[in-house]
Amino acid sequence: MEGNGSTPGQVQLVITFDQITGRVEVNGPVQNLILCYGMLEAAKDSIRSWVARQAGEQRIIPAARIVS
């Protein structure tokens, strides 16, 4: 996408949420559905990974005791 401040070879998909009005605005190559859905899935994976790392820092893992 040209003219949006991204470097060549990079594509930006910007999602803006207005907490007051509840309005969601999407800017980017929305005509390319496969690219947009792929970028959204990659973003979801990144968020899940970040949340898991944050939870891991506070998680207590008990020592396992195996009885046979």
pTM of full prediction above 0.85: no
Q: What is the pLDDT of residue 57?
A: 63
**Dihedral angle, C-alpha 51, 56, 60, 64, nearest 10 °:** 120
Q: What is the pLDDT of residue 17?
A: 94
- 54 or 30: which carries more pLDDT confidence? 30
With left for phi above 0 and alpha for psi between -120 and 50, is residue 59 left, alpha or beta? beta
- How confident is residue 55, by pLDDT bands cut at 50, 70 and 90? low
- Which sequence spans correspond to the domains of the chain? 14-57
- How confident is residue 1, by pLDDT bands cut at 50, 70 and 90? very low
